[in-house]
Amino acid sequence: MINLAEVTRLTELAQSFSIHRSTGRFERGGWAETSSSDISAVGVINPASPRQIQQVPEGDRANEMVVFVSVTPMYVTRKSGSGISDVLTYKGENYRVASVNQAGAYGFWTAIAARLGGQ
């Protein structure tokens, strides 16, 4: 297998963004955060194609969709309930991760994220 992780760091293609990660648990009344962290990341960022958007649940398709490709792991809400979807900040806009594909053999993660706050 060819490791393509270096492509996500090329200065000609890569852009910086941040990842806000929250851990905690669901309680009566909603999400109770126990800790959070902000992670600096670098990757290739592009608008989502119609085919990529079809991979996301319909309720998340109303807002602008962007694809983030990075060697830094990105997560949707974990089944264990230990964390909610990461929020990615790029050029002052926040995007909630709706779908993730880890291409581990190739060395990178791909996340489709929906812009928060309407259009």
The pTM (predicted TM-score) of the whole model is 0.82
Per-residue tens of pLDDT for the chain, all 119 residues? 556 667 667 677 889 999 999 888 888 888 788 889 999 999 999 988 888 888 776 656 667 889 999 989 999 887 766 788 999 999 999 999 988 987 666 778 899 999 987 55
Q: What is the pLDDT of residues 85-100, one digit of tens each?
A: 999 999 999 999 988 9
SS (HEC) of 47-62: ECCHHHHCCCCHHHCC
Q: Is there a contact between 106 and 71 (Cβ–Cβ < 8 Å)?
A: no
Print burial letters for 108-119: b (CB count within 10 Å at least 16), e (below 16).
bbbbbbbbeeee
Give the mean pLDDT of the chain: 83
Domains observed in the chain: 5-115 (2.40.10)
The token duo for 90 is 């790029």
Q: What is the pLDDT of residue 84?
A: 86
